[in-house]
Structure formats: structure tokens, C-alpha cells
Chains A and B, each alone.
Chain A
Amino acid sequence: MREYILRRLILLPFMMLGVSLLTLLAFRVIPGDVVDIHCGFQCDEDTKRILRDEFGLDDPLLPTSLDFTDPPFVSLHQSQYGDWVWDIVKPELHTIAGPIEVPLPKLDLGKSFRGRLEVTTELGRRMPITVELMIMTLIFTAVLGVPTGILSAIRPGTIYDAVARFSTIVWLSVPGFYVGTLVVIFGSKWFGWTPPQFGTGYTPFIDDPLINLEQFMIPSLVLALGSAGLVMRLTRSSMLEVMRNDYIRTAWSKGLRERSVVWRHALKNALIPVVTVLGLEAGGLLGGAVLIETIFALNGVGVYVVQAVISREFLVVQSMAFLFAFVYVLTNLTVDVVYAWLDPRIRYA
């Protein structure tokens, strides 16, 4: 197990580099210089040259030669990609608690062409919004999905089961961005309600928990519906599967009460696949978050990356790819670890 985790963690930086390099290459295949795209006819040749120089666009894409003897690794980072990576990993002294200085990576992801905004600063501003949206969505997913699934499985064929199954298939099918649109439209039409984010900016939870929850309640509920449907159906099927096992029959024949059979014997085993899916959904939700952030005017990471792709800010997209790879590998790893922890029969070679 330890070896498995280690192997995956060693793979992580390569994955991050690979994904960002892939993005860079894909975006640079498009003909037309970035400067031409962003500056167009307004700039004369001199301005364009200055701009290219500023963003290092004259350098080759990849390092042409590798010379590790040179102390500051000049040869390594005299290329667009090498330079970008170098700015991320370059050790820099950070002051921690008074006089203690620790060398840490600089984590400079570059800046956007339009507005010259530091990607790292932008991320720092937008990340809390998306992370909070994700967390609340996951909570709603679990709260809506798991109990309904359990109830549905221990009362199969009842009216409750039918209603729950029908409503979850609807949750699952109706796209989140349509539900979001309807909530915004009819919320304002019938209740005079508009998403609070429209008026004020993002309020951190520590500043004012009430306003913060008001801002995130509805968007995360809307986003959670789809995955809650999925989780409910999964809980139900896995629960039904478990309830057919011999040890459940044994528990019944021992004369245990239903509560005990369901909670102590069945649920633990039934939740294994559910936890896996919850973990995987966490990664997949980011796609849905893009749309929900757009509808509810939340200025999160999703909106940021979409705008960057559309306006060809390849440096931003490349940085985001770098980050996505990190999240992707770590979520998958966490899911694997949790899986093995829940089910001791699972071994990773």
C-alpha cells in the first residue's frame, strides 16, 4: 500500500508537467501569434516586439539543450516552457514566524496577457469560492443521496421507493444549468428572489457566515441534485445487493431488530462503492461548477478557466491544467486509499 501511494506520488509531478505541456503545445499549434490575437491591428511592429519580449515569446517553446553544470540552470529555463516551470519551482526564501526563513518554491504561474494579472493572485482570490461550492455540493450530495437510497432499498416496491426512484431519475437527467436557470428565473418571478451574489461580492464564511451560506446554498443545491441522484441509485442497488447476503439472513434469524441489521451489518458494506463514487464525483463536479458559476455569477475558478480558453490566454489554461492534474491524481489516490481502508480485501500490487 505504502509503495503504491509512493509510486502514484512520484508520478504526480510528471503528470502535471505532461498535462501543462500538452496544453501549451495544443494552443501553440493554432496559427497566429498570441500578440497578434490580443493586440491585432492596433499595434505597430515595435509595440509587438516589446510585448513579445515581455512575455518571452521570442524564446523557443522547449529547452533546446540541457546543461546542468551551469549553476542557475540558465540553459534549462531559456525557453518558454522551461522558464514557466522554473518560475514555479524556483526556491525563494519565505519568512515564517519572525526570523526563520525557509526556502519554498516560488509558485509563480506567470501572468495573463490581458490586464497582466498574476495567475497566482487570481487563483488565490477565486479558489475559495470554487472550493466552498464543491464542499457544500458534496455535503448536499451525501445528505440527499444516501438516506433516500437506504430507505428505498429497505422498503423496495413501496410507494416511497417508487417516488424516490422516479424523482432521482429526474434529478439525474435534468441538466444542472437548466435547473439553475429555472431557479434564477422563477425565483425572481414568483418570490422576488435574486441570487445574493448579483448584488454583493463574495463574502468569506469567517466574515459573515449567514450571508456566505445564503450565497452558496442554492448554487450548491442545484449542482448537487445530479450527483445526489447518482448516489441515491448507487446506494440503493448496493444496499439491495448486500441485503441478499448470507450474513444478513443470519442477522435476521438471530432475531436482531431491523435497525441493527440495517445500520450495523448492511450499511457499512453497502457504502463502499458509494464512497468511491462520491470521491470521483468531486473531481467531475468541476465541470458542472463552470456552468453553475456562470449562472449564479460566482467568480470562481470555473468561470476563470472558461474565459481563459475562449480568449486563448494559454498561460492561464496551462497553469490551470497543471492544477487540474494535481487535483485529479490526488482525488483518485484518495479514493483508492479510502477504498482499501473500507474493504480490507482490496490490495494494490
Chain B
Amino acid sequence: MVKEVAAPIDVQEAATPRPGRWRRGAFLARQHPLGAFGLLCILVLFGAGVLADVVAPYNPTEESRLTRQVGILAEAVSADDNVFTIDQAETGPGSTILIGEEKVRLSDFIHSEVGDTLVIEVVRGEDDTVAVPHESGEGFELRGAVDQLSPPSLSHPFGTDRSGWDVLSRTIWGARISLLIGLVSVSVGISLGAFFGVLSGYMGGIVDSIVQRFVDMLLAFPALVLLLAIITVIGDEDSSARKAIDDLLSPILTGQGTFWGIPAFVDIFVVSIGIGVAVAVGTARIIRGAVLSLKENVYIEAARSIGASSPRIMWVHIFPNVAALVVVLGSIFLPIAILAESAISFLGVGVPYPTPSWGADLSEQNRENALQGDWWPAFFPGLALSLIVLGFNMVGDAFRDISDPRLRGGQGSGGGRGGVSL
């Protein structure tokens, strides 16, 4: 037998005067631990994205190099000696050697191999003198080969990928790209969507029909295919849309199209616009529905009767009333936009290589490496992506619970995943 138990009234909450903001926050966090966890995910990941140039330990597109011992000095070397004899040499030269603590560039060495013994002769340049004498038996390290696909370690907590790029740094920079694309595309999308939604809902008649049939046609495409098509069309090197975007963005771009440390920003902006259009399609429908009921209000009729023009009514009387809905839609579409970016980058159309992107890092090459056992380059960026979406859904759930206590625990129409199934 199911018992309907009334939600216990929190006596403490009722008895004490309204607690301070922090106390109240802490109380809510205890009540909704999942929501708090979600908020934490969002703050940590986006925080890392904003501070990427400070937090990331390496440059995300700079090869990390390997330092490891490849042999032992067979004979003592004095400071002005030119010839090193190395026992048990494993590999040939890369670009730098370390003898003890001292670095000498290996490109300046001539080497010959005799069995296990590597004999190298220094061609002295200005900087690469061997300053200190070295004992025989000292470790001889070869530094230089690109540190490809090294598993997670202390120096690379998330390992390195096939190009020797630090996966942790790429994940952090990926957060910045995701954040940027999410914000740009959602602002573009909800503005466009609100504009056409209000226009279509308020004007009705032929305007409504045209806008809605157009929306219908765009909705007929699977969201992902629509996105790909938009990006292909407006992203083409020669298209006029691309040129317009180039002109629009040129004031904020610095050397080689970099913006906020992200190279090839125009490509990323094109992706955002594409996602924005897809978001607008969904938004326009919903806003139109809201406007349809709004415009039946008496105050709209009053405004019309004192001679207010249609643009004025739409801007002054209709728009402020749907603004809250627009903001809510924006927060629902943000994780969807981030997901969409990852999905198309995953297919190789979105963010261009080698700009770090969570989706692109899940793509083919990394998956092939993963099949051979090197799982980390694909694992961590995907984890970050999952956590951010999870974070948004959990916060959304908690928010719904808080704003509507009647619904005891996440019962909305389903965690804010809207129309995009990925």
C-alpha cells in the first residue's frame, strides 16, 4: 500500500528569522546534494575554461618531450672533452641530451655506434659547452623524442596524445572553447528565436504562416544533419556569409585570427552561428506559443486602442513578458549547444584541428589509438563533456524542485534535453 506522506515542515526554517544568503545556500545544498554537485561541476569546468591560460600546465598544442635515461657514461668526461662514450645505449639521438643535470643539444653531436656503445662527439656551439666534468657510470639521458601517448603520470596527469600534447591541458582549453561556443550560439539562437517567435505570434496571418512553414521545414531535418548543412554552407571559404563574419570579427581578432587565446576563431564562430540557427528554430516555436496566449490579454488591447504601433506593442508589452521564458530556454539550450558542438567536431566538421575540443578529441584517430590500449586521449575530454551536461541537468532538476515544492524530486518533462538527441 502506498502512503501519501505530506512533506515534513521544516520547523527550524519556519522558526528562525530568514537566514543569510550563505546559510540559505548551504541549506539548499544539503537539501539538494545532486544540484550542489552539478553546480560544482559547472563552476569547476567553466572556471578552468576561463582561467585556461593560468591553470593549464602546458600549451595544448605544444609537443611534450620525453626525458629518460638511455645509457651510462662509459668514461669520465672532463669539461673540455669532445667525445662521450656511452654504454648500453638504447636509442639514437633526439634533440637534447642531459648529462646529469646539464642539458646539451644533441643536434650538435656526431654519433657513431659500436655494438652496445654509443660514441658521440660534441661539435661545440656557443651555448652547448659541457661545463662540468662527469664521472664514468653517470646516467645519460636522451631528451627529445616526442612524448607520444604516454599514460597518465605525475607530469602528465591525463597522459599525452598521439601528437605528444598534454591531455589535461587540452581538456582545460576545451572547456574554454565549449563555454565560448555555448554562450555565443545560445545568445545568437535565443535572440533570433525570440525575434521571429514574437513577430510570428503577434502578427499572425501571412507572416506567421511563412515563418512557421519555414520552421517546419528546418525541423524536418534531424538536428545534427541540419547543423552540418548550415555549417557547410556558411563556413565555406568563398561564401559571402563567411566573408561577412570575417569582416564582423576582424576588430576583435589579434594576429592570425586569435581571440582570447584561441586560434582560427572565425571557424569557431561559424560553428556557433550554425548551432545558433538550430537553437533559434526550436526557440521560435516555443516563444510563438507563449505570445499567442499573451496577446489575448486586455492590456494589449488597451495599448492597441490608444494607438500604439505594432512594433511598439511587441517591444514594450510582449517582449518583456516572454523575456523570462527566453532566459529559461537559454539555460536549457546551453548544454545542448555544447553537446552539439562536440558532436559535429566528433564528426570532423566543427572545431578545426588542432584547436582543442572535447568532441574532436573523441574522434577517429584517438579512438583508433584507444583500441590499441591508449585510452586516455579520448577518455578525459569525454568525461569533462559528460560532467558539464550532467551538471546542467542536475542543477536544472534541483532548481525545479526548489521553485515548485509540490513536485517532490525531478519530475519535469525530462532534464532539459530538449529536441536534440545525441
Contacts and interface: CB of A to CB of B under 8 A. Distances in A.
A142 interface: no
Interface in B212-226: 213, 216-217, 219-225
A290 B225 contact: yes
B2 interface: yes
Interface stretch (B82-90, B103-111, B259-267, B338-346): B338-346
Contacts, number: 190
A234 interface: yes
Nearest to B366: A181
Contact of A32 (B219, B238, B339, B362): B238
B385 A291 contact: no
A284 B229 contact: no
Contact of A306 (B213, B239, B347): B347
A174 interface: yes
A157 B3 CA distance: 11
Interface stretch (B72-80, B183-191, B284-292, B411-419): B411-419
A230 interface: yes
Interface string A306-343: 10011010000100110011001100000000000000
Given A185-B370, A287-B225, A309-B229, A173 B393 contact: yes
B394 interface: yes
Contact of A181 (B240, B378, B394, B408): B378
Contact of B415 (A173, A295, A329): A173
Contacts of B382: 175, 178, 181-182
B414 A306 contact: no
Contacts of B408: 156-157
B224 A290 contact: yes
A346 interface: no
A66 interface: no
A310 B236 CA distance: 11
A288 B383 CA distance: 18
B375 interface: yes
A329 B343 CA distance: 25
A186 B379 CA distance: 10
Given A15-B216, A31-B239, A181 B370 contact: yes
Nearest to A186: B375
Which of B220, B349, B379, B408 has its CB near the most chain A CB atoms (within 10 A)?
B220
Contact of A177 (B348, B410, B414, B422): B422
Contacts of A317: 229
Contact of A184 (B239, B240, B367, B389): B367
B interface, over-half SS: helix
A117 B104 CA distance: 59
A209 interface: no
Give the interface size bracket for B toward A: 35 or more
A234 B413 contact: yes
Contacts of B9: none
B414 A230 contact: yes
A288 B422 contact: yes
A74 interface: no
Contacts of A310: 228, 232, 347-349
Interface stretch (A16-24, A79-87, A119-127): A16-24
A173 B239 CA distance: 36
A170 B390 contact: yes
B347 to A, nearest CB: 6
B151 to A, nearest CB: 13
A286 interface: yes
Contacts of A328: 219-220
Contacts of A324: 220-222, 225
Interface of B: 1-2, 5, 34, 213, 216-217, 219-225, 228-229, 232-233, 236, 238-240, 339, 342-343, 346-349, 362, 367, 370-371, 373, 375, 378-379, 382-383, 385-386, 389-390, 392-394, 397, 407-415, 417, 419-422
Given A31-B239, A185-B367, A328-B219, 12 more contacts: A27-B232, A233-B410, A277-B414, A286-B222, A287-B224, A287-B420, A288-B224, A306-B228, A310-B347, A310-B348, A321-B220, A321-B221
Q: Which 8 A-B pairs have the closest CB atoms?
A: A237-B411, A287-B224, A173-B390, A178-B382, A328-B220, A287-B222, A286-B222, A185-B370
